Amino acid sequence: MLRKILIANRGEIAVRIIRACAEMGIRSVAIYSEADRFALHVKKADESYCIGSEPMSGYLNIYALVNLAAATGCDAIHPGYGFLSENALFAKACKERGLIFIGPDAEVIHRMGDKTEARKAMVAAGIPVTPGSSGNLESVEEALEMAESIGYPIMLKATSGGGGRGIRRCDNAEELQRNYSRVISEATKAFGSADVFLEKCIVNPKHIEVQVLADHHGNAIHLYERDCSIQRRNQKLIEIAPSPQLDEAQRQYIGGLAVIAAKSVGYTNAGTVEFLLDDNDRFYFMEMNTRVQVEHTITETVTGVDIVEEQIRIAAGLPLRFKQHEIVRRGYAIQFRVNAEDPKNSFLPSFGKITRYYAPGGPGVRTDTAIYTGYEIPPYYDSMVAKVIVNALTWEDAIQRGERALKDMGLFGIKTTIPYYLQILKHPEFRTACFNTGFVEQHGELVNYSNKPRPEVLASVIAAAMASHTGL
């Protein structure tokens, strides 16, 4: 088993990994920029080291991180998600330095990170993919010819893209001509590659992804699916496990496809195979994320499997502890990404000092976060400040619990997406589990909620103020 792990990340995912290490008797090493000096992951880790004054560059400095891990006696690095988590060069540098990269091999990361190569691999494995270009596009003329043959609308995508960036929908030739150079420019800036491809746009599909685990002994299983259809501009907002929109036959089918996909590329560790489901109940492979997902929490909740712990065990060379038939689902889980954004102002970021914070609690509620009262949210990173996860035995009860938990949560000093999520929970399409990726765009009226303080939150603030004043 591993003895000491450097966590090449920050925020709530770093705290999540630190907790897994603590339960496994493994020492944790945190890194931080000057902007993160007072971050919670720095306080929680066994050891913490500053990686420089620049907010971003230190977290992305491959060789500095690898050297730090070696110098501090670590035998592995966990990349979390984002930053270097899907960087093949980082995985390779770890191996060259004699460190274990907690994730798949560099070759697999590279192959699945290149979306055209991933499509080719899935076609070879018999996995359905959307019609599109078989390789990278050489010119806008080639793109126009391809789009004409498969029909509009099409999606123009960066080959190395991710996180909703480097993607443009084109409904006609004029839009394709206009967006072609934009996607190339965005891809070059964000991913260091100008390669783009196109595929048929599945209009307002359901976004369904499957969590897989695979070890170094040839074993691979799935932990069922998650529904990520509630999203804005390709960024997920609310995730659900399992999908309340699938029947059991669809569930078993897509889970089987995900395992075939993982085995076909020699995948190891935790990964996610993402699919689109169209109106005719046809599944299409979209991409494979070669890392732990933000929404891994809801899969853990309904299956009881600690995905981060399994990541560490697999990296240490241990076999999977579960067979497929031993994975049993229980109820439904919903995750709300609480973002420091103002939905009433085009979701603009709302960074600043958290004057008061009260975590939701009670049965079936989990909160993953790295914030605390008095914490100053730096403006340099992702706007997500917390994840609220609820679970219950039925879909209806999960919705009710989600509403209660979000109302329980008190987060002051910044604006958040909590009031917006409460509006979504009330909508009949969501409550009856009949929604797709167009939900947010189709229901812009939901941002017109009242800014009046919720009674239960107002009461908690008054009580806290009184206690502080009287010294109780």
pLDDT tens for residues 308-319? 999 999 999 999
Q: Please name which of 34, 81, 88, 27 lies closest in space to residue 58, comparing C-alpha atoms.
A: 34
Q: What is the pLDDT of residues 262-273, one digit of tens each?
A: 999 999 999 999
Superfamily per CATH, domain 131-200: ATP-grasp fold, A domain (3.30.1490.20)
Look at the block and give the residue holding tokens 């992305």: 60
Mean pLDDT of the chain: 94
DSSP string, 431-458: HTT---TTHHHHTGGGG----SPPHHHH
pLDDT at residue 464, rounded to an integer: 53
Q: What percent of the chain has pLDDT over 90?
A: 89
Query: What's the CATH class of domain 4-102?
Result: alpha beta
pLDDT of residue 134: 83
Length of the chain: 472
**Sorting pLDDT into bands at 50, 70 and 90, what band is 459?**
low
**Strand 165-170 relative to strand 47-50, pairing:** unpaired
> Would you kindly state where each structural domain of the chain is located, as residue ranges?
4-102, 131-200, 204-330, 331-472
Q: Which of 27, 168, 226, 291 is catalytic?
A: 291
Question: Average pLDDT, stretch 157-175?
Answer: 86
Question: In whole angstroms, what separates CA 449 from the centre of its chain?
Answer: 27
Nearest Cα to Cα of residue 136 among 150, 152, 120, 151: 120
At 460, the pLDDT band (50, 70, 90 cuts) reads low
Beta-carbon contacts of 243 under 8 Å, excluding residues fewer than 6 positions away, are 206, 208, 225, 226, 227, 251
8 A C-beta contact, residue 366 and residue 339: no
Q: With 90 as the cut, is the pLDDT of residue 277 above it?
A: yes
pLDDT level of residue 165 (50, 70, 90 thresholds): confident
Q: Rounded to two decimals, what is the model's pTM?
A: 0.92
Average pLDDT over residues 399-416: 98
| Span between the terminal Cα atoms of the chain, in Å | 47
Q: Which amino acid is at 411?
A: L
3-state DSSP of 176-215: HHHHHHHHHHHHHHHHCCCCEEEEECCCCCEEEEEEEEEC
Same fold for the pair 4-102 and 204-330: no
E strand intervals along 233-299: 235-241, 269-277, 283-289
C-alpha distances in angstroms, 469 versus 193, 281, 464, 472? 58, 60, 9, 8
Give tens-digit pLDDT for 62-109.
999 999 999 999 999 999 999 999 999 999 999 999 999 999 999 999
| Domain 204-330 grouped into CATH 3.40.50.300 | no
Note if 330 is an active site residue: no
Q: Domain 331-472 class?
A: alpha beta
